[in-house]
Amino acid sequence: MERKIGVFGGSFDPIHSGHLNIAKSACKEFDLDEVWFVPAGHSPNKNENQMTPADLRAEMVSLAIEGIPYFKLCDIEITSEEISYTYITLTKLKERYPDKKFFFIMGADSLDYFEHWYHPEIICQKAAILAAVRDDMDIAAIRRKIAQIQSLFPAEIYPVSGGKTDISSSSLRRELSEGKTEDLAMLPEKVKAFIREKRLYSGRES
């Protein structure tokens, strides 16, 4: 039987409970067997000098998903020298695991410019898209955007309705750099301890 694998990419700088909630909701709503968390390697959209080193971000992911047997760390991007374009990552995964059906998990806000990503048609060949919807989003507008994308090329795109959160890694980095604690409850305890141990984000711009 074909196993259904969620692929959840991101900088995870740091990973927080909002990420975990989205992954859990995707598993529940689409009966996924596993979710593979893919920390970004050489990102085309971010200044790597401002990112936490990949090995530390991967360690935070490992700590956050520890004890959840259907969550896995996938290092396919951080061990590659290539720019981490989504279509390349999904192509590699499909080549390595042709017997698995992949579901690419992303924020529904990214649908607004999805057709301008590098080779979105290849992304949709390699995986179905699960778009995580926040509370402040108009689901009717999202469905219209999905229909627009599907008019451009064949695509399986579904909204994920659960696991909504408005917290962002950038706001957590800002709070950590300023010594604030308002939203730090969104960090898994082991991740929080790791950040303290390694003195990550202290005095750093978000």
Q: Can you give the pLDDT at residue 203?
A: 64
Angle between helices 54-65 and 189-198 (to 10 degrees): 150
Give the model confidence (pLDDT) of 186-196 as tens digits: 999 999 999 99
> Which CATH number is 3-166's, of 3.90.550.10, 3.40.630.10, 3.30.1060.10, 3.40.50.620?
3.40.50.620
Nearest 5°: CA angle at 176, between 202 and 36? Answer: 105
Torsion of CA 199, 202, 205, 206, to 10 degrees: 60
What per-residue confidence (pLDDT) applies to 182?
74
**Total-model pTM:** 0.94
- The whole-angstrom separation of Cα 9 and Cα 132 is 13
State residue 184's pLDDT score. Answer: 86
Tokens at 125, concatenated: 């060949």
pLDDT value for 46? 65
Domain residue limits, the chain: 3-166
**What pLDDT was estimated at residue 204?**
59
Q: What is the pLDDT of residue 205?
A: 53
pLDDT below 50 — which residues of the chain? 206
pLDDT value of position 27: 97
Structure confidence at residue 62 (pLDDT):
98
